[in-house]
Structure 1
Amino acid sequence: MANPTLRAAFDAKKFIVAPGVFDMISAKVADGMGFDCLYGTGFGTVASALGVADAGIATYTDMVARMGRVAQGCTTPLIADADTGYGGLLNVRETVRGYEAAGITGIQIEDQEVPKKCGHTPGRRAIPADEMVLKIRVAVEARRSRDFLIVARTDARTGLGLEEAIRRGRMFGEAGADVVFVESPESEAEMVEIGRSLGQYRLLANNVEGGRTPILSAARLAEIGYAIAIYPAVGFLAVAAALERVFGHLKAQGDSNGLPAAESYGFGRICELMGFPDVWEFEKKWAQPER
């Protein structure tokens, strides 16, 4: 079931900051930090699970399994990437039903042609706006609970211009999307214009370090009309950098001695994070006498 606390936070006009999670370690770490929402990044999930580009290679089955496990292993509401809905209108219906049944709280679908591409990379092409409107209407009708949120993304800005992206955002909001996501505006001025033009809807800002869009503070985003900011890449970029440092040390030194304490989460902490204390208590309770 969808977690009702996320819709309640939106209704209370609370600005949402959502870190990108891509596996169970990143999800468990973020889950214990008091965020109102987690964002299940498609790029990070595909990279960590399959080791390939976020270019429409992962399937519905791949994503619902991974994101469902995250949702079930965390108490924080999860919005998860679902690319284009994995096909036509029937696929969208089944994707919404599957994500909701898996315990995910929100689904992000976009208006790209298949195969889709990461929103901050070149070569994206958008389907006709009317086709996406139908997808949104199907998604809204397919959900069991209104606490399951529909995030509708347009990738029109890069290929078709800001005016068309705003037009689509308005259409998506009118079609019933709970959150409108205009992907990759290229300046703060463009973001201000999106907020001015679409301020009647909940707007999402996608903050990708090194991407097309400037990263503004939460206060500034709220001021210009946004309701939620996602940070899909910050986690896996940090993990890759940390691994490169410690693996480089291991290759150069031949052991892990001498690593700064800051480079290690700590074996005891990771055991606790993964639930070993519960395992030990269970084993103590049900211990069998030696024969």
Structure 2
Amino acid sequence: MGASSADRLRKLLHGDEIIVMPCCFDPLSAKLIEQEDFPLTFMSGFATSAARLGMPDTGLMSYGEVIDQGRNICDAVGIPVIGDGDTGYGNALNIKRTVKGFAKAGFAAVMIEDQVAPKRCGHTAGKSVVTRAEAFDRIRAAVDARKEGADILILARTDARHDHGLDEAIARAKEFYALGADILFVEAPRNAEEMQRICTELPGPKMANIIEGGLTPNLSPAELQQLGFKIAAYPITLISAAMKAMSAALGELKTGGVPAERLLPFEEVKSRIGFDDYFEAEKQYEAKLGD
């Protein structure tokens, strides 16, 4: 039996180079990420809510919907997938169920955050965080689920920078790590100086969240590695690129054109989706004439 998804992520975290992590929203986007040789992906809550519901990332997706989407994504690829567990979908016991459910679905890690439920995208207005005590209980419950047998890493996120400042965010993240979190994520630092403080003052692997046009500077992976980040996440890059490409193609069709130059060759479309692999596998079961 090969290494688990969680073990493969642990190995990546021990590597020397920063992990560039484009984020997916469905099995096809995850397959494209794997086909381009990225070693890790994240099921973006922002992008998945947009793709699955056609709605904003404001806590509208249920636990069941997230698990269903995540299971399909994890089944489609061989690279580790991190899942967005939001606030854990309830109290400490709900969080334990969430973490165990994410592990069973095949996720390598689950992100648990300290926003007030229903949460929202970290780069939009109106978010707030729970008390330190509740935030710490969430991470403690997640770690307890892992201790009880869930083979999964815990990515602990704080959004405290927004209302309470960077000092509070760093203090929370330090305690998350002391409680047993594996990866730390301080959301929405405003400049490179704040990003440097996060990397200097916090232990363990840190994740940077790069949203093009968001609150955090869009530094290159090399710059992020120099600061001390281990993972560079790009949560809306693919959904934004897909929306732009589809809108442009629809615009051409609307005016009577044919957007041929915007399209992949049909043979490549079929190959990337998996038709070639399917037909090759099918051959071993085909009945032969005369048998």
Bin the TM-score by the shorter chain. over 0.9
Paired with 2:289 and 2:106, the residues of 1 have a C-alpha distance of 40
**Matched residue of 1:26: which SS?**
helix
Where 2:276 maps in the other structure, the secondary structure is: helix
Distance in 2, Cα, partners of 1:16 & 1:283: 36
Measured in 1, the distance between the counterparts of 2:67 and 2:247 equals 30
- Residues of 2 paired with 1:63 and 1:95: CA distance? 10
2:129 is equivalent to residue 122 of structure 1: no
Secondary structure class of the residue paired with 1:80: strand
Which residue of the partner structure matches residue 172 of structure 2?
168
1:136-285 equivalences in 2 (<5 Å): 136-143=139-146, 148-198=152-202, 200-253=203-256, 255-256=257-258, 259-260=260-261, 263-281=262-280, 283-284=282-283, 285=285
1:110-152 deviation per Cα after TM superposition (whole angstroms, max 9, x unaligned): 1001111110001111001221211112111212668621000
In structure 1, what is the equivalent of residue 83 of structure 2? 80
Can you list the C-alpha shifts for 1:56-83, whole angstroms capped at 9, x where unaligned? 1101101111011111110110011111
Larger deviation, residues 277-286 vs 200-209: 277-286
Question: Residues 217, 60 of structure 1: CA spacing in aligned structure 2 closer, same or farther, 3 A cutoff?
Answer: same
- Deviation, 1:288, is 7.3
The alpha-carbon deviation at position 282 of structure 1 amounts to 5.0
Q: Deviations over 1:131-174 (max 9, x none)?
A: 12111121112126686210000001011111111111111111
Gaps (5+ residues) in structure 2? Answer: none
- Structure 1 residue 36, shift from structure 2 partner: 1.9
Match status 1:20 vs 2:19? no
The residue type paired with residue 161 of structure 1 is G
CA contact (8 A) 1:20 1:41 kept: yes
User: What are the Cα deviations for residues 43-100 of structure 1, in whole angstroms up to 9, with x where unaligned?
Assistant: 1001100011100110110111101111111011001111101111111101111110
Alignment-mate amino acid for residue 259 of structure 1: A
Q: 1:32 aligns with which of 31, 35, 46?
A: 35
Do the aligned partners of 1:2 and 1:145 also contact (CA within 8 Å) in 2? no
Alignment correspondent of 1:286:
286
3-state DSSP class of the match of 1:170?
helix
Aligned partner of 1:107 in structure 2 is 110
Greater CA drift, 5-14 or 188-197: 5-14
CA distance in 2, matches of 1:40, 1:241: 20
TM-score (norm 2): 0.93
The amino acid that maps onto 1:272 is S
- Tell me the TM-score normalised to structure 1 length: 0.93
RMSD of the TM alignment (CA)? Answer: 1.8
> Partner of 1:108: helix, strand, or coil?
strand
Contact 1:249 1:259 in 2 (8 A): no
1:222 CA displacement? 1.6
**1:22-101 equivalent positions in 2, closer than 5 A:** 22-101=25-104
Q: Does 1:6 align with 2:37?
A: no
Distance 2:234 2:281 in 1: 37
